[in-house]
Amino acid sequence: MVGLWLVLSCSWLYSDRVVHVLVPLCDNANQGIVPVSASLGNGRDLRNNLYWGALYGMKTHLLRRPRVTKISDQRFEDGPLAERLVLKWGENWVVLDAYWGDHMEACLQSLFDYAGGKVETISLPSGSALQAGGNSDFLVFSGHNGLLDIGSDQFSFRTRTAPKPIQVAVFACLSKSRFLSLFEEIGVQPAVLTNGLMAPEGYVTAGFLEAVLDKKGTPREQVAQAYAHYQKCKLQAARNLFWSP
């Protein structure tokens, strides 16, 4: 019986991993960012948005990866969620959620809810369902740091009690200073945060996925190498930008 309990309690270690990525669309009008061009910074334009459909946007960049297969793609007209993609990364799962740029608060609340254990059940074309959100192995937030505009007192938090551990990465400007204490309050482990200003484009998350899904180096190092390559900056500078506990 003890052996059976150990197998059941640790089975998540051997199953396919799930990464749930949340991306608030870049929005000149509704986010406190340095303005970009009108098309890149239109928070209602999925196709051209800097963080989603542009050359290095999350959707465009990840769909070009050699181990990625698109399973489903759903768009929404009403509510804060704009588009949801479900991908297979090798044998693992990646859920990409784009939020309209004027719904930053809803995007952040989803991040905190998932960190606290709220499960998102996603129907798949095969008829089966994927348990993401709070049942994921990793959560990623990539985009403008909305906590620079919205106080943390505007959000609700709950302590995580789910037995499955989860790690959270936030690829946004100055995320360590805004998110670390909140993750400690919720009871989740930060994976990678940032010490300074950054460009939260798709290659950063791709580097993270290479580390946690393909087991290529550590998350911080893979992210730093990707950032140095695409931003054409020194590797040590990129290493200093990203932080892991």
pLDDT in tens, 57-82: 999 999 999 999 999 999 998 999 99
User: For residue 15, what pLDDT is reported?
Assistant: 57
User: For residue 77, what pLDDT is reported?
Assistant: 85
Residue 9 lies in a domain: no
How sure is the predictor about 113, in pLDDT bands with cuts at 50, 70 and 90?
very high
pLDDT of 9 > 60? The answer is no
CA 116 to chain centre: 15
| Domain assignment of residue 25, given as a range | 17-243
* Average confidence (pLDDT) over 36-46: 97
Residue 1 lies in a domain: no
Residue 120 lies in a domain: yes
Residue 115 lies in a domain: yes
How sure is the predictor about 6, in pLDDT bands with cuts at 50, 70 and 90?
very low
Total domains, the chain: 1
* Average confidence (pLDDT) over 17-22: 98
pLDDT of 11 > 50? The answer is no
User: For residue 154, what pLDDT is reported?
Assistant: 96
pLDDT of 139 > 90? The answer is yes
User: For residue 10, what pLDDT is reported?
Assistant: 39
Residue 128 lies in a domain: yes
* Of 201, 204, 200, the residue nearest 225 (C-alpha): 204
Residue 83 lies in a domain: yes
Residue 4 lies in a domain: no
Q: Which residues of 132-169 are buried (b: 16+ CB within 10 A; e: fewer)?
A: bbbbbbbbbbbbbbbbeeeeeeebebeebeeeeebbbb
Instruction: State the chain's mean pLDDT as an integer.
Output: 94
DSSP sequence for 163-201: SS--EEEEESTTHHHHHHHHHHHHT-EE--EESS-----
24 or 12: which leads in pLDDT: 24
> Under a CB-based contact definition with an 8 Å cutoff, are residues 160 and 188 in contact?
yes
pLDDT digits (tens, 9 = 90+) for 156-182: 999 999 889 999 999 999 999 999 999
Other residues' Cβ atoms within 10 Å of the Cβ of residue 184: 11
Residue 6 lies in a domain: no
pLDDT digits (tens, 9 = 90+) for 202-230: 999 999 999 999 999 999 999 999 999 99
